[in-house]
Amino acid sequence: MTQNQGRRPPIKDDERYRILVEAVSDYAIYMLDPDGTVASWNAGAQRFKGYTPVEIIGHHYGKFYTAEDQRAALPQRNLEIASREGRFEGEGWRARKDGTRFWAHVVIDAIRAPNGDLVGFAKITRDLTEKRIQQEALRQSEERFTRLVQGVTDYAIYMLDPNGIVSNWNAGAARIKGYSAEEIVGQHFSRFYTDEDRNAGEPNRALTTAAAEGRFEKEALRLRKDGSRFWAHVVIDPIRDDDGKLIGYAKITRDITERRNTQRALEEAREALFQSQKIEAIGQLTGGVAHDFNNVLTAILSSLELIRKRLPNEPKLHALIDNATQGAERGAALTKRMLAFARRQDLNLVALDIPDMVRGMTEMLERSLGPSIAIETRFPLSLSQVLGDANQLELALLNLAVNARDAMPKGGPLVISAREEIVGPGHASKLEPGNYVCLSVIDAGEGMSADTLKRATEPFFTTKGAGKGTGLGLSMVHGVSEQSGGRLILKSKVGEGTTAELWLRATKTPAIAAAAAPAAPETPTTTALTILAVDDDALILMNTSAMLEDLGHRVFTAMSGREALEILAKQPVDLLITDQAMPGMTGYQLAEAVRERRPNMPIILASGYAELPAGSNLALHRLAKPFWQSELDQCLAKAVEPLHGKRAAVSAA
């Protein structure tokens, strides 16, 4: 075999060019016949315009132009220019196959034979839509900025050249300093300084500092045209070109003579906003973690409950199950506090009578706080009911009382009081205007420093030492009050005790007495049902299904809303129980779709996370995670009760 045998023949130059052009995907490169018919088509052209070679070769390239450009004969005109001048280049809107438009940079080169005859055109198109959008956004931004600067009247915004000469002047500068643009442009900015500052070299020092440090900022007295003085907040920033050369200064002056107190309030508001944003961010994280943890605890608790039923009568095994259950229940209590802080728990808001609630808690408070704490209550003879969740409000009050006890290690008085107050605009509580009841827990303990007071409602922040607190008590109270439309306000000083105020919206609705929790049924409360259980978490789905089957029900399972709808279309189902937070289709969206097909189907939404969309109006039964089998059974009974009632009525008829 010779040396060249088995080798590919060399690729010719024209073949190399063809391969190169066809491989390019960032540019549409194709050929046109002299009349504008497409003769070739590369990968970039197909990507930009959406046509395959089979769909477009042999068609006139004018179909890439918009309808307006076609009516104006722009395709033909561009070819004429390319034919006459040898080249056409431009930018404009072009149309894709699907009708959408994109901004294109187009080059058309005339191709001629050696004898000068026109044999066609080479056309290169580049998609510049993103660049066009950026340029347009930049242009609009510059226009808005110019209008903004010229329209600002509360700030003097103007430019200085490198020597301090005023080069432009806005409306705010004219209003604050009294000079028109004609009077001041071309003058040195030092005329705004007092004689003392000019003699001390302050104007030059300001420019030198700005140039050297990148910024000069100060509050000082300045002069108006009429000679009067005003207190000014001044900022000077150096302006440099791309090479770093100083070309001038940007100067902003604000008259704060009568607004220094406002500035102080603004700084406090900024601090409050920062704190609010920080708490909100922590709340989002905490709520998400608690939601996922709730799912884990649901699987653990339900599994332990089912295992307990099947265990032999072995005390040691039952002790271990009890221990694991108690640990999981402690975790569930922790997640409830986390969800409360994050304002993601499901609240049952009803009208409550505060004095009755506190009187009902007296024995529990006395046991929890111990004999060294003297509890005193102070309530007016007439007090409006409040809107709140009875269980959560009791837990919040207990948390505040325990914190007060811990602040008084040697014991002392604990005062629980309430007052009614009308909150108007600008109230110190920053609540929405309306009628409120302020429930206060007052101790005579050690009090908190200013730094501790700022962080008191942050989750996991505690001053009690390792192992003595979760740091979620006050954060839970904060979350419950916010979610109920109220607010927690803490007032404290070191050595002067602490006052915790729980502001709650007053309501005219008659108060609802708390009902005793029903005892867990020993036998299932409902007849056998065919139930569809939906959850994207396999652990939760398996345990929910196991508990339902243990109750004697037939169960279908689905891990998504779409899968659930497919099952409902094929199988007879009496009741749907679904998780809320699922990808693709939430539980509420699934419920909406089911109600369109089966308006009377009972639906249970099982979630420990109050994340229903605004305006939700479907009548759904709620089951908080984690849940016991008895709670599941009771919820099933409540959900199917209306249907059983209707069936009984029909039978009687």
The label of the residue with tokens 């179909």 reads 63
Secondary structure of 378-439 in HEC code, one letter for each residue: ECCCCCCEEEECHHHHHHHHHHHHHHHHHCCCCCEEEEEEEEEEEECCCCCCCCCCEEEEEE
Is 522 domain-assigned?
Answer: no
Mean pLDDT within 216-242? 92
Q: Do 156 and 128 share a structural domain?
A: no
In which order are the strands placed within the sheet that holds 101-112? 28-32, 118-127, 101-112, 87-95
Residue 189 scores a pLDDT above 90: yes
Q: Do 474 and 325 share a structural domain?
A: no
- The pLDDT value recorded for residue 165 is 95
Is 142 domain-assigned?
Answer: no
Q: Which of the residue ranges 65-74, 183-192, 542-551 would you say has the lowest mean pLDDT? A: 542-551
Q: Do 331 and 231 share a structural domain?
A: no
Residue 31 scores a pLDDT above 60: yes
Distance CA 499, CA 483 (A): 21
* CATH code for the domain in which residue 304 is found: 1.10.287
Q: Do 184 and 234 share a structural domain?
A: yes
How do 621-623 and 603-606 pair as beta strands?
parallel
Mean pLDDT within 316-329? 68
Is 447 domain-assigned?
Answer: yes
Q: Total structural domains in the chain? A: 5
Residue 564 · residue 586 · CB < 8 Å: no
Mean pLDDT within 341-367? 75
Sequence-distant (6+) residues with CB within 8 A of 16 are: none
- The pLDDT value recorded for residue 575 is 94
Query: Residue 575: which H helix or E strand, with range?
Result: strand 575-579
Q: Do 312 and 288 share a structural domain?
A: yes
Q: How confident is the model at residue 609 (pLDDT cuts 50, 70, 90)?
A: low
- Residues β-bridged to residue 252: 157, 235
* CATH code for the domain in which residue 97 is found: 3.30.450.20
- The pLDDT value recorded for residue 247 is 93
Distance CA 600, CA 594 (A): 9
Mean pLDDT within 21-35? 81
Q: How confident is the model at residue 367 (pLDDT cuts 50, 70, 90)?
A: confident
pLDDT digits (tens, 9 = 90+) for 236-269: 999 999 889 999 999 999 888 877 766 666 676 6
Residue 197 · residue 181 · CB < 8 Å: no
Q: Which residue has the higher pLDDT, 23 or 340?
A: 23
Residue 571 · residue 530 · CB < 8 Å: yes
The label of the residue with tokens 């056409």 reads 88
Q: How confident is the model at residue 150 (pLDDT cuts 50, 70, 90)?
A: low
Is 513 domain-assigned?
Answer: no
Is 2 domain-assigned?
Answer: no
Burial 250-265 (b: 16+ CB within 10 A, else e): ebbbbbeeeeeeeeee
Mean pLDDT within 89-111? 92
Residue 193 · residue 164 · CB < 8 Å: no
Strand residue runs (E) in 53-175 = 87-95, 101-112, 118-127, 155-160
Residue 206 · residue 192 · CB < 8 Å: no
Is 143 domain-assigned?
Answer: no
- The pLDDT value recorded for residue 44 is 86
Q: Do 385 and 409 share a structural domain?
A: yes
DSSP state of 257: T
Strand residue runs (E) in 35-154 = 87-95, 101-112, 118-127
Torsion of CA 590, 593, 596, 599, to 10 degrees: -10
Mean pLDDT within 275-300? 59
Distance CA 67, CA 309 (A): 75
User: Length of the chain, please?
Assistant: 653
Q: Do 356 and 498 share a structural domain?
A: yes
Q: Do 648 and 537 share a structural domain?
A: yes
pLDDT digits (tens, 9 = 90+) for 552-575: 999 999 999 999 999 999 999 999
Which residue range is the domain that position 89 belongs to? Answer: 13-132
- The pLDDT value recorded for residue 151 is 64
Residue 439 scores a pLDDT above 50: yes
Mean pLDDT within 627-632? 82
Q: Which two tokens stand for residue 356?
A: 């009755």
DSSP state of 560: S
Q: How many C-alpha atoms does 71 have within 13 Å on its Cβ side?
A: 3
**Which of 132, 166, 192 is at the close of a domain?**
132
Mean pLDDT within 600-620? 73
pTM of the model: 0.37
Is 512 domain-assigned?
Answer: no
- The pLDDT value recorded for residue 235 is 94
Residue 612 scores a pLDDT above 80: no
Q: Which residue has the higher pLDDT, 24 or 9?
A: 24
Query: Residue 335: which H helix or E strand, with range?
Result: helix 315-341
- The pLDDT value recorded for residue 20 is 59
Long-range contacts of 625-628 (CB under 8 A, 24+ apart): 625/294, 625/295, 625/297, 625/298, 625/540, 626/294, 626/297, 626/298, 626/300, 626/301, 626/302, 626/328, 626/332, 627/298, 627/301, 627/302, 628/301, 628/302, 628/305, 628/520
Helix (DSSP H) and strand (DSSP E) numbers for the chain: 20, 20
Distance CA 559, CA 578 (A): 10
Is 3 domain-assigned?
Answer: no
* CATH code for the domain in which residue 435 is found: 3.30.565.10
Residue 25 · residue 48 · CB < 8 Å: no
Q: Do 428 and 484 share a structural domain?
A: yes
Alpha helices in 152-201 (DSSP H): 171-177, 181-184, 195-199
* CATH code for the domain in which residue 555 is found: 3.40.50.2300
Q: How many C-alpha atoms does 461 have within 13 Å on its Cβ side?
A: 15
Distance CA 56, CA 94 (A): 15
Q: Do 536 and 640 share a structural domain?
A: yes
Q: Which of 291, 290, 324 is nearest to 305 (CA)?
A: 324
Distance CA 576, CA 565 (A): 11
Q: Do 558 and 622 share a structural domain?
A: yes
Residue 311 scores a pLDDT above 90: no
Q: Do 633 and 561 share a structural domain?
A: yes
- Highest-confidence range of 277-281, 304-308, 423-427, by mean pLDDT? 423-427
Q: Which of 330, 335, 348 is nearest to 288 (CA)?
A: 335
